Chain A
Amino acid sequence: MAVEETGVIHQVLRGDVDSFRVLVERYQKPVIRIIKSITNDSDMSQDIAQDVFLTAYKKLRTFDFARSRFSTWLFTIAKNKSLNALKKRRPVYMSRLPDKTYGRDPCDDLSCKELFDRLDSIFLSLPNRQKMAFILAEFENLPHAEIAQIEGVKIGTVKSRISRAKEKLRAALERLDGDIL
């Protein structure tokens, strides 16, 4: 897949604009997931994701194959754009509070929904750094070294951020154990 991806990038750099579509289709979901984890706003996430891809296209010539994988480079752009958007964001009013969850619920019963809601709110209350590390490790299955590169920190820091996030979620689950489970 990486070899094929390298070929696609070279095609885009040679002027084949249409080939960029392959990269957009391949990475749109992980990019939106990362942005969503930081901004917690579906519509905003998709708008920022569009900016991320446009920036990636504009700066593709500066992407260095020897330094990182394309996904690492793209996710770094996504992280930076999301943090910038958060800084600029106006206060959110009650009438347009963002969605709490991302996808469809795999469970239908009420207790399950309640559990997910509580886990969501605990996840959303995590510091951005922990959320980001958790998303990249658990949802995108990226190796710790790659996460460290995206976050610009040491591998040990990434490990501790992930374990702290997991600890908080585990503690929440334990608390809910008596309540609902």
Chain B
Amino acid sequence: MKRQEVYDNWKDKNRQIDTRRSFTDEVMDRVYQYQQDRSRRFFKFRWLMDLILEHPLGQAVFVVIGAITGLIRVAFVVCVFLGT
């Protein structure tokens, strides 16, 4: 066998690759699982938000927390400008 032929055959051999038959299915199972977990997390967050916002008291707490956070940020900016 000639040198070039050996080299080309060796390359062909290494180009062939055996993958598990179920490879694609295994990957897709993991993808679906990830997608499901993500949706579950999102619905948990939505559920919590709905729970808070459907009660007037929950809405009030939400607004107060927002207002306090806003005030703290404004106070922080003012402090930075005044250099204190």
Contacts and interface: CB of A to CB of B under 8 A. Distances in A.
Interface of A: 17-18, 20-21, 24-25, 28-29, 32-33, 36, 42, 46, 49-50, 53-54, 57-58, 101-107, 112, 115-116, 119-120, 123, 138-139, 169-170, 173-174, 177, 181
27 contacts: A17-B32, A21-B28, A24-B24, A24-B28, A29-B17, A50-B23, A50-B26, A54-B30, A57-B34, A58-B34, A101-B13, A101-B14, A102-B16, A102-B17, A103-B13, A103-B14, A115-B6, A116-B10, A119-B7, A138-B11, A139-B14, A169-B7, A170-B7, A173-B3, A173-B6, A181-B3, A181-B6
Given A50-B26, A173-B6, A181-B1, A104 B13 contact: yes
B1 A119 contact: no
Interface pairs A-B: 9 shortest CB-CB: A103-B16, A53-B27, A119-B10, A24-B24, A24-B27, A57-B31, A54-B30, A102-B14, A106-B9
A50 B28 CA distance: 9
A120 B1 CA distance: 18
Contacts of B31: 17, 20, 53-54, 57
B19 interface: yes
A50 B31 CA distance: 10
Interface residues of B, number: 27
Interface of B: 1-3, 6-7, 9-20, 23-24, 26-28, 30-32, 34-35
B30 A112 contact: no
A106 B15 CA distance: 11
A173 B16 CA distance: 21
A28 B12 contact: no
Contacts of A173: 3, 6-7
Contacts of B11: 138-139
B7 to A, nearest CB: 6
A33 B24 contact: no
A106 B12 contact: yes
Nearest to B15: A139
Which residue among B17, B18, B26 has the maximum number of chain A CB atoms within 10 Å of its CB? B17
B18 to A, nearest CB: 7
B24 A25 contact: yes
A107 B27 contact: no
Given A24-B27, A102-B13, 10 more contacts: A17-B31, A24-B23, A28-B19, A46-B23, A102-B16, A112-B6, A116-B13, A119-B6, A181-B3, A181-B6
